[in-house]
Structure 1
Amino acid sequence: MSGFATPIFAILAVIVSLLPVPSHWRARNFVILGLVFWLVVGNLNIFVNRIIWMSNAKNSAPIWCDLSVKLMSMASFSLPCSALLISSKLYDIASLKYSKRTPEEKQRLWILELFCITVLPVFYSLLTLVSQGHRFNIVYGRGCEPAVYFSSVSIVIDYGIPVSLCITSLVYSVLSLRHFFIHKKDFDAILSKSGSGISTKKFLRMISFALIDILINFPILLAAFALEVSYMKIIPYTSWDFVHKRFSDVWIYPRTAISSSRFKHFLTMTSFATWSQCMMGFIFFFMFGLNTDIKSDYVKAFMKVKGMFHLKTQKATREYKDDNICSTDDISDVSNHKSEDSNIHPDGVSVEFSHVDLEASGHEASNYSISIPSNDDTKTNRFA
């Protein structure tokens, strides 16, 4: 059962992350939309890996693994980067800098945000090639994992950059909260003057999410770094050719390998990263998916689906009724089999007809009975 827990929570995190999307799309909040995109990508990546390699460590999907390890790099960069974009924008709004920007400056800021959530993660994933010792690892029960050549270069790329994003975001978040508490009484007016379309409640939700993202990912990065340093020796980065001389290798870690005590630190690090990714999906939903505006979207969507289902049910019912209602011509064909001179069938079956009006259809129809003589009595079957 433990093997199923991770993919189940990962796919649930994907679903709940997508629920608030329509509201943020209408508001054109591309930073939040970018955050959702990378949450979905990260959790889908976890789901696919855990499903394919739940009970094996075979190199069955090498192309997927090449993509998967890069998606991991992009997601690990994008989450703290999104938190930084959110906290810096909220600081601009709270400090009245945003309201002083010209439309051209706001347009450039919007382009910069879009660049940071779409292009920068790709650049970062390419940068990780510098410290990628071989193609990828496949771990039993976990799937594709990045292959890191642990050196001073990898420390800067894999830990230094995400940690610096977290620290910068934390500074902006603290400064934003400082402005909020200083101008608490007039904060609604400040937000209205900024023209950002953000209410006080939304401001607090966004800054809270940025802080939670930092407080979850920052300690995990530090813990992963501490575990790596304690169990791994830092190897000198002599040259690109030396580090990548066996780049095409794929290292397989079967069940027997991961059960060893030496491998425990790696399992701990990957578990931290995996569950923090799932957790952020649910936290995002609780922060942005339960407010009044979005609840009305859920009701509208539910009523729309209900209406579609109701129409399909009505159509199926009408088709069923149409198939089971006899027409007047069908009944008259049956009536024509009656003998003109006698109601007695040559085989001794008595056919009796009576005419009744069908009020529902407005046509005249016939009810008839068939009597089969027997030695004791007459058995009658009635058809309508």
Structure 2
Amino acid sequence: MFDVLYPLFSVFAFLGFVLALIPLPWHLQAWNSGTCFYMVWAALACLNQFANSVVWRDDTIDRAPVWCDLSIRITMAASVGIPAASLCINRRLYQIASVKTVSITGAEKRRSALIDALICVLFPLVYVAMQYIVQGHRYNIYEQIGCYPALYNSIPMYFISMMWPPLLGCVSAVYAILALRAFNARRIAFSQFLAPSTSSAVPGLTASRYLRLMALAVTAIILTTPLGIFAIWLNLTATPVGPWVSLSDTHFMFSRVEQIPAILWRGDRLLVIALEFTRWAAPATALVFFAFFGFAVEARKNYALFLGAIATAFWRALGRVVSRGQESGFGHGVT
């Protein structure tokens, strides 16, 4: 079946993968661990969706079982990894807005990064492991979509799988409100904590970047929380909720792979909405991030430095080639 979104979606997914990682170096320098995890999860989700959209653009052949096993786990991990990273961003912004001292020790920075890693990495890994309980069979392959998790629609699935993205969004929203209140209450004295110098409490973080981080986190909440609530409603209404009997009953014929042609799944309007929303969420979050940080002043400075380094390396390499050519010609002239 002809896909009107091919290669449009693949192009956006690949762009999302590349653009999400461009600001990574200077956010690493600023110890912005939550933002870095956001970029990595968004980039992984985009790369995953890009590969699936290309490999299964016109069939459902189970040509890469190992990839599909990995792909569905990336999909599930990113579904909570991105909201978790947004929560860490808002949590850090609240801590910055309410900080009472100008200096933050290296130990405090490492502890904050460790907490972010537990939330953004360990929690998604535990979340993925828990999905085995409600995983009905190995995976599905949808034509034009690719590998997709196969979760059994039962009451435990809503507690193990579906509730976490909107719950993370709600906690993140609380931190965002607290950060805005603290920022508003202390906005006059706030500038002393935000300076590009390494001696400040938050090195590399300016007031402009702080506000853009806040806008990014709020946008992520708007993108992920309603989508998570909508997914719960969709699962409750689109298909019957089956009874939970036992783990062995849920895993009956677990190794099977269901292959669904596009002509079948595109005939179900609610399923089309669910699948398209899920896969477009990845490039949307990546492109939103780049829109906030890809055109900022510090970004343009880094682009200039990067292009300058490339130009310098090119001219040096060209100079060596020319020098070797001259030496070779001189040698032949002597003989």
Q: TM-score, normalised by structure 2?
A: 0.89
Query: SS state of the match for residue 163, structure 2?
Result: helix
Asked if the contact 1:228–1:265 (Cα under 8 Å) also holds between the matched residues in 2, the reply is no
Change (3 A) 1:55 1:187: same
Distance 1:320 1:132, change over 3 A: same
C-alpha displacement at 1:233, in angstroms? 0.7
Structure with bigger strand share is 1
Instruction: Name which of structure 1's ranges 143-152 and 248-257 shifts more when overlaid on structure 2.
Output: 248-257
Map of 1:144 onto structure 2: 147
| Unpaired stretches in structure 2, ≥5 consecutive residues | none
Residues in 2 aligned to 1:220 and 1:38: alpha-carbon distance in whole angstroms: 17
Correspondent of 2:98 among 95, 101, 111: 95
Gaps of 5+ in 1: 331-384
Cα distance in 1 for partners of 2:101, 2:61 equals 53
Which of 228, 231, 234 pairs up with 2:235? 228
Deviation at 1:61, TM superposition (A): 0.5
User: SS state of the match for residue 80, structure 1?
Assistant: helix
Shift, 1:328, TM fit = 5.8
Q: CA deviation at 1:220?
A: 1.3
Equivalent of 2:260 in 242, 253, 258? 253
Change (3 A) 1:97 1:253: farther
Instruction: Return the alpha-carbon distance in structure 2 between the equivalents of residues 312 and 100 of structure 1.
Output: 44
Counterparts of 1:329 and 1:222, CA distance in 2: 81
- Return the structure number with greater relative CO, CA threshold 8 A, min gap 6: 2
Q: CA deviation at 1:251?
A: 0.3
Q: Are the equivalent residues in 2 in contact too, given 1:134–1:246 (CA < 8 A)?
A: yes
Q: What's the CA shift string for 1:351-384, capped at 9, x where partnerless?
A: xxxxxxxxxxxxxxxxxxxxxxxxxxxxxxxxxx
Please report how far the alpha carbon of residue 259 of structure 1 lies from its aligned counterpart in structure 2 after TM superposition.
Answer: 3.6
Residue 266 of structure 2 corresponds to residue 274 of structure 1: no
CA RMSD of aligned residues (A): 2.5
Q: Please show how residues 90-129 of structure 1 align to structure 2 within 5 Å.
A: 90-96=93-99, 107-129=110-132
Is 1:206 matched up with 2:213?
A: yes
For this pair of structures, how many residues does the alignment match?
328
Q: After superposition, give the CA deviation of every residue in 1:48-86 in whole Å (9 maximum; x if it has no partner).
A: 101110111101111110111011111001011111111
Letter aligned with residue 270 of structure 1:
L
Partner of 1:48: 51
Match of 1:73 among 76, 93, 100: 76
Aligned to 2:225: 218
Structure with a larger share of its residues in helix: 2
Q: Which has the larger radius of gyration?
A: 1
Identity of aligned residues (%): 26
Structure-1-length-normalised TM-score:
0.78
- For the 8 Å contact 2:79–2:165, the answer to whether it is kept is yes
| 8 Å CA contact retained: 2:137, 2:251 | yes
Contact 1:93 1:194 in 2 (8 A): no
Indicate conservation of the 8 Å contact 2:104/2:202, yes or no: no
